[in-house]
Structure 1
Amino acid sequence: MQKGSLLFLLHPNFLMAHASPILLLFLLLSLQVIAQENETNIIKPGSSLYPRKHPSSWASSSGHFEFGFYPQGSGFSVGIWLVGQPENTIVWTANRGDPPVSSNATLVFTGQGGLLLQTENGKENLIVDVRESVDSASMLDTGNFVFFQNRSVVWESFDSPTDTILGGQNLSTNYNLTSSVSRSNHSTGQYYLIMQGDGNLVAYVRSAAVDTRDAYWATNTYGSSLSRLYLNERGRLLLYAYPEERGLANSSQIGDKTVITYRATLDPDGVFRIYSHQFESNISSNGTKEWQNLNDLCDVKGNCGLNSYCSSRNNDVECYCYPGFTFINENRKFLGCSQNFTLDGCEARKDLVMHYNFTTLENMDWVGSGYSLMNMNEEDCKKACEEDCYCGGALYSRSSGSCTRYSLPLIYGKRRGDISTTAFIKLILGSTPTIPPPQSPTLIDEGNQRLISTMGLSLGSVSCLCFVIAISSFLIYRHRMQSYRKLLENKNSGFTEQFTLRSFSFSELDKATDGFKDELGRGSFGVVYKGILPGDKDSKTVAVKKLEKVKEGEREFRTEMAVIGRTNHRNLVRLLGFCVEGSRKLLVYEYLSNGSLANFLFNTSESPNWKERARIALDVAKGILYLHEECEVCIIHCNIKPQNILLDDSMTAKISDFGLAKLLRPNQTSISGIIGTAGHLAPEWQRNASLSVKADVYSFGVILLEIICCRSSIDVEVSNADEILLSTWVYNCFAAGELNQLVGGEEVDLRMLERFVKVGLWCIQDDPTLRPLVKNVTLMLEGKMDVPVPPFPSLSHVTY
């Protein structure tokens, strides 16, 4: 019996005229059947789903959409799909960051919370948390899964989109679509499309943390905070940015007799597309592409990693390394490329000539402001990059005649015919010592012999006089050295020895180090060797550094050593003495048995204890504070890195190599021209700007993040490209409230961890004025000063 016929029979006049007990019984049975038909897709609390047993899903009344378990990888995930052939189309996934579950899992609808996922090992996880009691749920024909309380909707999947919006669904302000990893892996991908509060719809690389330079598409519409994106049931994509309404796309219409469902999806390649699905016998088609926001896939940033560029052909994207670079992983090209040849710092020795080869690539572009922009011709542009050791590549624009130099890594490169700039890529081929040119022989005639004889006698006399003076000087020097040794042997000289630098001879240090045999490490200024100095009672182990790049004369060097020798702090490596004999300059330091912070953090099988790491970070901050504000003169270290932080027997951190760059006098505010080590350098180095104490604050910020995470600032051996740059990964975890990922699940004081992370992010800000003074850094680490929420640190200066 049809519903219309039944309503006619239930009319009061008909019932009064024709009522009978049999008819009334028939009508009641019919009403019960209709009620049951209308509730076939109503889900009651206590209902369950199973991956490989019936039921595995809940279907909408039309059968076009289903909610439940679907296969993913080697397991199963929970989501909503559009039923189709030869495969279903996933439009929503719950808990995308969780791994797939096994076939023994169970999904239970609880009336007190939502959907509870129970795994075979007894773990329970609320994958849909309604946070109030509900009495029913339903999979609607629109593709929306909803929960009801007294017939009122209290939760719906349309309010929590993943990578797709369906016909009739909104994307509201500050909500986003996040792409999937691939067509078959619906975990969180690397692109997202966000409806910003200013009315602008923008697509970003997910790792960018909303850095405007990493946006690759935008509608450039600006309205109110009530802006929203809407896909209507007829496939029209509308942007409501009050008071403006803008149509972004119109889908083709295919007649009224065919049921069509539309979806707008941010695909794994970062392109936003609209698809239409036609239904025949309740089975949808694979989907027809109706519209996409980008025609060239290389306009999507992030398809190719650092130091590589993108080239598109047809609808395929291919990544290529720049000349001189190789892929970090051939099977995972999104990780980018790297060079085999690296330099520690940027100052080459005078007897070392670097050989470069330049490759010219037409129609190239990459992202970044560069650190130098000048007007010059093409040849001068290439030469300027060749002579600049920080330059990894340059872009030359023929239209404007401008040359922009960039440091490595080169980011978001692409090559396309309509790009008018030319790229010069620098390739370091190697280094060889310079060989002095041979001198041409001189012909001597008889007329010059008398002159030569006279000059020979004169030079001989002068040589003899110099020899006599040298012997006298040596005897005087030897006498004074013996007197000095007697002074050192005096029992009352212990106090003097503690606070006075000792001047060593080269032969003493050569003997102490056994001919400089036992190398402890290499730094920016030279090589460090282990040595043993003899004493009255016990010998003393020391570290002897042979300086290679110090160019000061003997007088200036002794002056600087006197200043360094007067520094005395528990978090600084103590300088015991020095040697200066002509061009040979050596320093003698106290020996610290536990090595460097780099070995402590990166070369141990187990991560060091969190409390110990936190104490070391505070030790380093206090050491820098002493150099900047508490010693006799303000010393800018300029080369703070884990290799220059040493640990003593009690694991106290001590800073070494301070004062070897330059000393900042009290009447100066900045210093320029000093060379540090890439990886921990502040952005000012690349801009050739003057340096201040804030450069050391930046280096400390990088070290602080390394101490927190027990990994280096750039690590290519990671599973996700978002984690290569430590600063980006830390900020993403901080913004997402997932700081536990940084410490690998180690039990730590979360309040202290958050405080340390925020301090580190403030210290590595691109603008030096935003970085705190090291005094405030120390107070914030100790919890004596509040730490505001930091902005995202820039990426343009990161090099490796």
Structure 2
Amino acid sequence: MNAAKSNKSFSFLTCISISISILSHLSSATDTLSLGQFLSGNQTLVSKGGNFELGFFSPGNNSSNYYIGIWYKNIPTRDIIWVANRETPVSNPSTTELKISQDGQLVLFNQSKLPVWSSNSTRSISSDAKLAVLLDSGNLVLKNVSNSSASIWQSFDHPTDTWMPGAWLGVNKVTGEFQSMTSWKTPKDPAPGPYTERMDPDGSNQYVFLYNNSEVYWRSGLWNGQYFGAVPGTREKTAIMLSFVDGEVWKYATYTITVPSMIARFVIDSSGQGKTWLWLNSSQQWQQIFTMPLSPCDVPSLCGAFAVCDQKSSSLCSCYTGFQPASPPAWNSGDWVSGCVRRTHLQCSSNISNGGEQDGFLEMQNVKLPSNPQSLIVSGAEECKLACQNNCSCTAYAYDTTCSIWQGDLRSLQQLYDGDAAAGSTLHLRLAASDLPSSRRSHKWVLAVILSAVAALVLIFFAVLGVIWMLQRQKRGKISMHVEGPLLRFAYVDLQHITKNFSEKLGGGGFGSVFKGTMPDSTIIAVKKLEGVRQGEKQFRAEVSTLGSIQHINLLRLRGFCCEGVNRLLVYDYMPGGSLDCYLSPNSEVLDWRTRYQIILGIARGIAYLHEKCRECIIHCDIKPGNILLDAEFCAKVADFGMAKLLGRDFSRVLTTMRGTVGYLAPEWISGLPITPKVDLYSFGMMLLELVSGQRNSSHSKSKTFFPSWAAQQVMEGDIMSLLDDRLDGQADMEELMRVCRVACWCIQESELDRPSMGQVVLILEGVLDVNTPPIPKMLQLLMQEDHQPELHFYNHLRTIKDEEQSENCQNSVVKSQNDT
């Protein structure tokens, strides 16, 4: 009987112990951590609305370090917005606990039950301060149970590398305490990196980026009551609204999102740049919309020690002459922070008498000099050189009316080019004699070899020239020997030779970059390097051969292609008139109405041929001014047709990139409906409105509302002259203008069933068919309403960014065309 009582007592105690253990763990779905509970292993907190999640994460696939962090719950990529123990990772989350201590602090204990991180709130904590809540804003708040509206500590007060909407960044004017954001050390290491954003330490109302908390390399510009001068997107009302508060205690900035469904964040990343990201539901990826500073080379020490940053180089960072990467694996993966080291140790001047060779100096021209030089008072350049040469710790010098020398590691060296805003200087880099490109060593055997070789070189000089000439002829002959049907098949090395190793870029877009080249017979061509092609070689050749057989006066002629390994290139005729994009800005060349109408008619005929005259209907899918090229006689050529066939599944991803073709996408793309040739009609209609007005829709000065909506209203009311480009002074055929405007409005109807076919459009433009007054599209009517203005402002803002980039490309194209002429 006693044994039975003992067993019952043991069972009762066991149940109590198990119950306590269960209660100490979190339930599967909660946003709250209370006293007596802890979070470990795979357990997480999820905000009440399901926007954010808090738990353990590991930043790399092969990393054994774990951190407590907060990330977006409903986004497929795990993007961390806050990290608790970024300096003290743990190795085993299953034996690690995050809980509220008895004194009301939020504490992380490792597997040895030692605290590795704490909230360390300095505010007064009452005995009932035992509740932590993850909010739908991404803010982790520690508060009193009895007074849930007052927070004792919150993660928004202690940002890591991300500034979230509703959070703030400022300074306590009473205590002098600054809030700051600090980058991750590397993309896979959340430890604090060298780059920080905070308010200007000098007390001015602006924000600065700091390197090692000392060197300022970017400023936001002073707050003038409405915006920060150097921050894009704060000069006008957009969906991202920034405000600045200067109170008695705190001075800070904060921002909000005016469109509730929009997801945005600002990050100072491990590269030292501040970037604003916007989540695109259509492509399920983040789109970068602002970057500060614009050039990555303006970030100090981006390339590490003894490396030069060259924005025009494909690799961005490269070691100085005489240096090599300190960590080749990291360098090859794009992690340049480890920098470079010397190939050969320097010989100090005092060691020359012992048989060493004297160090020399390599002249590096047109560079932005490293920071923190030491100034010397000397009488000239030669004395400046001797001062560095006689100082064993001197690694470089520069002389420009004054003498500057550098000791130790050289960082933040930037290569400049003619035309850059900053004036370049000349740096003299100290190298071992053996690493100088033209060594001054004068060994007798070198002199003997040179003297004996002179006679032989004279004899074989003409023979070498003859061999080179023959090889060049053979190479040029090879280029035109490979023929597949109507197309030339080029070898990749031939295209490298034709384009001078792809050195002269004509432009670029979502499908790839275009380079200028010259054939052996002096014919100028354009070579497009495709990106994102996943087709096999056989299928790619078959599709290209099909496109090569398509010939029409208003379609850009495909001359040939290259298909070698991962390289996919297309060779086209060169169009000296550039793209139609270059004529859609206030400062561009003015096209008269007759030229514009012939361009419109040519575009329509080219698209109609693709839709109705080919063996298989070809949907262009990306009709826009940038894909309309002009020859010397301003004959329109539709370019990039058939890209959907070549790019396959990746086509929609390229097409819907927000900074690529915003403004021309038919509603079918966004709603996910099946794609038909009518998507080209919608894009064509939007383009007609721009060509008639001579301006971009988003930058049009005639309307305060969405321009296509306003334009459709004018067409319906018969006031078509208000749509005409002011620079034409009303010089246009009224009948032709009426046809174009009505066709444009029929083409941009929301339902594809209401849009005409491209064949009907051609007949209308040719005057064969009549066209009635169209209704205003329902979608455009919706955008004219006041409650949809934030979406409209943000749409126009993104279009403005794209237009500014296109304007710069067009200016470069104009310069190249003038040089060709």
TM-score, with structure 2 as normaliser: 0.40
TM-score, with structure 1 as normaliser: 0.41
Structure number with higher strand proportion: 1
Which has more radius of gyration?
Answer: 1
